[in-house]
């Protein structure tokens, strides 16, 4: 029986043309983030299953690739529960591993700690265009900075990076979990059911206000609370200054500095941004992860109808490892999506060296082979990319394949140099 050629469902092979763009994007990302003071780190792809199932990852905890115990520890015949069989899992994001990493090395790291982490993560999700079961994530995080300086730096670093990759006209949509909670509290929703309210709110852009109102009532919430909630959003639509409107409406249920701090983030980013984008307050952004405690944000590309990244503040997560809360905030670029967009737009890497292919006749004698090698070295020293390959029988087809890979010039070497 022949072995299976195709990759496992939800995984993909990456062709050379895409790999060139991926490598270029990674180099831009790392260089830009380094300019903002972020240090590269790496964590293992396997994490303790208890860390991955700690009720912080939202629905992603249902998508974990779990790993069986090994050797004598694996006793299938006597196992009574999953805990008897599983002790690890492939990471579903980079935040949980980062927090474990920080908790383990806090005494060796600066405060605040600005981390850059790029690596594959795994989710047993339903594959679709731009969504795989193995995919690259690109995260920057600041641990130990309690003020909104963290949010400002993260947004500026991320948007500068996207701008340098050629993206324009995108949006950073920003909100705060404390605003979400205050709006729900002001309308009389029970605190222990805020999560249900947010799930419905998260669909408002698809189902509209009327659809959200219908779902709230069908979920058992009172008509009075539902009407008050929808009324808040209608008031926001009409408000000239949405943050001032909420500041007035939520004065009795929100900490006084939350909205002014958010305003400072928006105005600071707007005042010094390098890239071509807008930062906008969006009261419907929820973010699915259970660990967010404050500011949350997403990268939206309205003309494409997609988001390609997001993040927020998660001040209570380190404390689950150490017993002491440490402020933390992070931003993740949807790496696979931006690569997909670049590929579909026919992105060309700026400043790429010109490519030349030397095609060598079969059985080329030593002196001609040496001549080809020396010339190739000279071209490479001059900054060109040189491919040496044996001449195929169908030379026309061979050249077309090389042209498709970006080779612009060809030089042929025969046994007889006059040929």
**How confident is the model over 329-378, as pLDDT tens digits?**
999 999 999 999 999 998 988 888 889 999 999 889 999 999 999 999 99
* 177-186 helix and 242-249 helix, angle to the nearest 10 degrees: 50
Q: What is the pLDDT of residues 296-317, one digit of tens each?
A: 999 998 877 788 999 999 999 9
**Sign of the CA dihedral running 249, 252, 254, 255:** positive
Q: How would residue 80 be classed by pLDDT, with cut points 50, 70 and 90? A: low
Q: Is-contact 26 119, C-beta < 8 A?
A: no
pLDDT band of 24, cuts 50, 70, 90: very high
Question: What are the pLDDT digits (tens) for 260-276?
Answer: 999 999 999 999 999 99
| 356 close to 402: Cβ distance less than 8 angstroms | no
Average per-residue pLDDT for the chain: 91
pLDDT at 405 over 70: yes
Question: Which numeric CATH code is attached to 355-413?
Answer: 3.40.50.12590
- Using CA atoms, how far residue 140 sits from 55, 194, 329, 366, 380, in Å, is 22, 29, 9, 53, 36
From-to residues of CATH 3.40.50.12590 in the chain? 355-413
Which residue intervals of the chain bear CATH 3.30.930.10? 16-344
H/E stretch holding 296: strand 295-301
**Is pLDDT of 407 > 80?**
yes
- pLDDT at position 131 is 79
pLDDT of residue 355: 92
Query: What percentage of the chain exceeds 90 in pLDDT?
Result: 73
In this structure, what are the phi and psi dihedrals at residue 178, rounded to the nearest 5 degrees? -70, -30
* CATH fold group of domain 16-344: BirA Bifunctional Protein; domain 2 (3.30.930)
Across 17-31, 141-155, 275-289, least confident range: 275-289
Nearest of 406, 292, 301, 391 to residue 346 by alpha carbon = 406
pLDDT band, residue 289 (cuts 50/70/90): low
Close Cβ partners of 217 (under 8 Å, ≥ 6 residues apart):
223, 226
pLDDT tens sequence across 225-269:
999 999 999 999 999 999 999 999 999 999 999 999 999 999 999
């Amino acid at each position: 029986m022949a072995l299976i050629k195709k990759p496992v469902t939800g995984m993909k092979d990456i062709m050379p043309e895409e790999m060139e763009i991926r490598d270029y994007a990674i180099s831009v990302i790392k260089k830009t983030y380094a300019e903002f003071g972020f240090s590269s780190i790496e964590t293992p792809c396997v994490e303790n299953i208890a860390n991955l199932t700690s009720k912080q990852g939202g629905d992603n905890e249902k998508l974990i690739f779990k790993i069986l115990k090994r050797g004598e520890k694996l006793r299938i015949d006597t196992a009574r529960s999953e805990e008897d069989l599983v002790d690890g899992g492939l990471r579903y994001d980079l935040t949980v591993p980062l927090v474990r990493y920080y908790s383990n090395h806090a005494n060796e790291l600066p405060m605040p700690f600005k981390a850059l982490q790029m690596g594959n993560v795994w989710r047993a999700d339903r594959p679709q265009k731009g969504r795989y079961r193995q995919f690259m994530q690109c995260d920057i995080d600041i641990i130990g900075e309690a003020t909104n300086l963290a949010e400002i730096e993260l947004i500026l670093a991320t948007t500068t990076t996207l701008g340098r990759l050629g993206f324009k006209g995108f949006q950073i949509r920003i909100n705060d979990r404390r605003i979400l909670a205050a709006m729900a509290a002001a309308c009389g929703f029970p605190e222990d059911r805020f999560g249900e309210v947010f799930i419905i709110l998260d669909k408002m852009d698809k189902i509209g206000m009327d659809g959200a109102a219908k779902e709230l009532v069908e979920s058992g919430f009172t008509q009075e609370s539902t009407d008050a909630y929808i009324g808040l959003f209608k008031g926001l639509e009409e408000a000239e200054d949405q943050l001032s409107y909420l500041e007035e409406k939520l004065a009795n249920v929100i900490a006084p500095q939350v909205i002014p701090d958010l305003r400072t983030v928006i105005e600071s980013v707007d005042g010094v941004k390098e890239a071509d984008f807008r930062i906008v307050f969006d009261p419907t952004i929820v973010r699915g992860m259970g660990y967010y405690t404050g500011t949350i944000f997403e990268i939206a590309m309205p003309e494409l109808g997609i988001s390609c990244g997001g993040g927020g503040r998660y001040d209570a997560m380190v404390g689950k490892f150490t017993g002491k809360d440490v402020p933390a905030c992070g931003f993740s670029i949807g790496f696979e999506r931006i690569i997909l967009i670049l590929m579909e737009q026919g992105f060309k890497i700026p400043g790429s060296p010109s490519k030349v292919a030397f095609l060598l006749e079969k059985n080329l004698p030593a002196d001609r082979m040496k001549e080809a090698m020396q010339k190739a070295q000279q071209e490479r020293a001059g900054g060109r990319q040189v491919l040496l390959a044996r001449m195929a029988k169908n030379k026309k087809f061979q050249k077309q394949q090389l042209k498709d890979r970006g080779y612009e010039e060809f030089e042929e070497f025969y046994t007889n140099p006059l040929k």
